Amino acid sequence: MSKKNQSITGAYSFFNCIEKNFDKAARFLSIEKGLLEQIKACNAVYRMHFPVKIGGKIKVIEAYRVQHSHHKLPCKGGIRYSIKVNQDEVMTLAALMTYKCAIVDVPFGGAKGGIKIDPQTMSTENIEKITRRYTSELIKKNFIGPGIDVPAPDYGTGEREMSWIFDTFLSIRPGEVDALACVTGKPISQGGVRGRKEATGLGVFYGIRELCYMKEEMLSVGLDVGLVGKKIIIQGLGNVGYHAANFFHESGAIIVALAEREGAIYNKKGLDVSKVILHLKDTGSILNFPEAKNIENTENALELECDILIPAALENVIHKNNANRIKAKIIGEAANGPITPDADDILEKKGIIIVPDIYLNAGGVTVSYFEWLKNLSHVRYGRMEKRFSENMNAELLQVIENVCKTKISTEEKKIILRGAREIDLVRSGLEDTMISGFHKIRDLKKSYRIENIRTAAFVLAINKIVDSYERLGIFP
Ligand code: GLU
C-alpha cells in the first residue's frame, strides 16, 4: 500500500476496509464463523511477471488476476490498467465483485484483474502486446474461460482491450464454440451487447433516481421527492461518470460541478455536459470551460455545496481528513470503494445517505451477464420475437380500430407496434435489476433495523452467498 493511502485509511489495508464493512453486517446474522471466514477470503490470487519488449528493451510487467469466490462459476470482474495496481487493491476489488453480483442476482463469483502500467503514456502497439501476453498467461493457468473466469473492462480498459483478449483466447483455443463468452464488454461487432458501454452509469442513475422517489428518505435529508432540480457533483468523467452525468442531465437534474484529474469546473446554475465533453475533446482538459469557474485543486470539488455527490473514479477519495467538510446530502458510490470506513462513520453521523458501490455500480456486471448469456445462446436479443410481437400488435390494433370505429394516427401506431430491440431489452433488464435490488436492500434494512444502506446491502449479499454454499452441500 502506498504511504498516501496508508495515511488516508489509517492502519488498514483496502482489503481490511471491506472486511470491516462485512463484519459490521455479519453481526446481524447468526452464521458459523468458519463460513463467514470462507466467504471473506480470496480463493485464488495469481500474481505474475512477464517480459515484454518495449522500445527495443525488455520490460518486466507486473500483473494480477484474483478470484475471490467460487461459490458460483464463472468468476467475473474487470481488468484494471493503472500504475497504482497492487495485490491489495485487486483482492479488494475482486471481493466487492462477489458481493455486487450476489446483491443484483447475477450468478457469478467475484474476480478482478490488474496490470501495473500507465496506458496513457504507452503506444497502442505496446498496450496490445501486453494485453495479449497477459491473456495467454491467464490461459496457461486456466484463469480465463466462459465457465471459469470472465474478464471485462475496468479503469483504464475498454472494448479495444476486450477484443484483443477474445482474439488471443480464440487463437489458442480454436474451435471452442462458446469462446465469445470468455470476456464481456466487447465491441458489438465482436459479440458485444448493445447498452454495455453506458450500463454502469445508467445503473447509477436508476439507483439514485429510485432513492429520490422515496418520500421517507428524502424527508430525512430535507430534499424534495424526484430528481428534477437536484444539484449534482460528479467526480471522474471516465466511462462511468460521463454516462451517469449525461443521464442525470437529461432527467432534469443540475450538474453543478465536474471534477477530473487536472482540476474541476463549477457553475451553480448547471453545466451542459455535452458541451463540456466537446470542450474536453478540443482542449484536452475540462478546465477553462467558458461557462464555468475553474477549481484548481480537484479534491476541493468534493466539498462544494450540492444535493448529490457522485464519486465515479477511484477508491479512498473521501477519507477521515475531508469527510467532515462534505456538504452533500446523498453520496452515490459509482466508483468502487470511494469512502474509507473512518469517513463512513463521520458521514453517517452527519446524516448523509450513502448508496454503496456493491449495489450502485452493479449495472456494468449486470449487462455483462446479459452479454455472456447472448454469447452462450449465439443469438441476438429480440431476433426471435421482435417481428412476431410487431405482427401481434398490428392485429390487436386492427381489432381495436374496428371495434372503436376510429383510426389511430401513424405516429401513435409506430409507438404501439414496435417490437423490442436488443437495446430495449437490455435497458429494461437493467432498470428492473436496479429497482428491485434497491427495494430488496431497503426492505431488509427495515426488517433488520439496520442504520445504513451499506450494512443492509452486505447482509443481503452474505445471505445470498450462504444460501448457495448450502445448496452446494459444502456446509451441511
Ligand atoms: N469492472 C466493472 C465493475 O467493477 C464491470 C465488471 C464486469 O462487467 O464483469 O463492476
pLDDT band at 470 (very low <50, low <70, confident <90, very high): confident
Whole-model pTM: value is 0.94
Using CA positions, which residue lies closest to atom 9 of ligand 1?
Answer: 77
pLDDT band at 475 (very low <50, low <70, confident <90, very high): low
Nearest to 319 by CA among 291, 299, 304: 299
pLDDT(248) > 60: yes
pLDDT at residue 1, as a whole number: 45
Q: Are the CB atoms for 375 and 191 separated by under 8 Å?
A: yes
Mean pLDDT of the chain: 95
Helix (H, G, I), strand (E, B) or coil at 214: coil
pLDDT at residue 469, as a whole number: 84
Q: How many CB atoms lie within 10 A of CB 149?
A: 27
pLDDT(85) > 60: yes
Over residues 457-463, mean pLDDT: 98
Instruction: Locate all alpha helices (DSSP H) within 189-272, ordered by sequence.
Output: 199-213, 215-220, 239-250
229-268: b (≥16 Cβ within 10 Å) or e? ebbbbbbbbbbbbbbbbbbbbeeebbbbbbbbeebbbbbe
Cα separation, 393 vs 376, whole angstroms? 30
pLDDT digits (tens, 9 = 90+) for 147-191: 999 999 999 999 999 999 999 999 999 999 999 999 999 999 999
pLDDT above 90 coverage of the chain, percent: 92
Which residues sit with their C-beta closer than 6 Å to ligand 1? 76-78, 152, 154, 184, 336, 361, 364-365, 368
Q: Best of 150, 365, 374, 426 to mutate for ligand 1, by most ligand atoms within 8 A of CB?
A: 365
Parallel, antiparallel or unpaired: strands 353-355 and 330-332: parallel
Parallel, antiparallel or unpaired: strands 254-260 and 149-153: unpaired
Ligand 1 atom index nearest CA of 362: 10
pLDDT at residue 471, as a whole number: 65
Q: Is the peptide bond before 187 cis (omega within 30 degrees of 0)?
A: no
pLDDT(6) > 70: no
Name the least confident of 55-59, 168-172, 316-320, 414-418: 414-418
pLDDT at residue 279, as a whole number: 96
Ligand 1 atom index nearest CA of 93: 4
Cα separation, 111 vs 331, whole angstroms? 26
- Residue 20 is a catalytic residue: no
Contacts for 183 with CB less than 8 Å, ≥ 6 apart: 144, 150, 151, 152, 162, 165, 166, 169
Q: Which of 72, 112, 231, 445 is catalytic?
A: 112
Cα separation, 232 vs 208, whole angstroms? 11
Name the least confident of 2-16, 204-218, 314-328, 436-450: 2-16
CA–centroid distance, residue 438 to ligand 1 (Å) = 19
Cα separation, 337 vs 39, whole angstroms? 19
CA–centroid distance, residue 215 to ligand 1 (Å) = 31
Instruction: Locate all alpha helices (DSSP H) within 350-385, ordered by sequence.
Output: 357-360, 363-377
CA–centroid distance, residue 94 to ligand 1 (Å) = 10
pLDDT at residue 183, as a whole number: 98
Cα separation, 61 vs 97, whole angstroms? 25
Over residues 219-235, mean pLDDT: 97
pLDDT at residue 228, as a whole number: 97
pLDDT at residue 173, as a whole number: 96
pLDDT digits (tens, 9 = 90+) for 265-290: 999 999 999 999 999 999 999 999 99
pLDDT(68) > 70: yes
H/E stretch holding 114: strand 109-115
Ligand 1 atom index nearest CA of 361: 10
Over residues 386-398, mean pLDDT: 92
Q: Which three cell numbers stand for residue 8?
A: 488516508
pLDDT at residue 117, as a whole number: 98
Over residues 193-218, mean pLDDT: 98
H/E stretch holding 63: strand 57-67
pLDDT at residue 10, as a whole number: 59
pLDDT(476) > 50: no
Q: Best of 368, 373, 374, 375 to mutate for ligand 1, by most ligand atoms within 8 A of CB?
A: 368
Q: How many CB atoms lie within 10 A of CB 302?
A: 24
Q: Are the CB atoms for 311 and 354 separated by under 8 Å?
A: no
Residue 105 Ramachandran class (φ > 0 left, ψ -120 to 50 alpha, else beta): left
CA–centroid distance, residue 154 to ligand 1 (Å) = 6
Going from the N-terminus, what domains does the chain have, and what CATH number goes with each? 44-190 (3.40.50.10860), 199-360 (3.40.50.720)
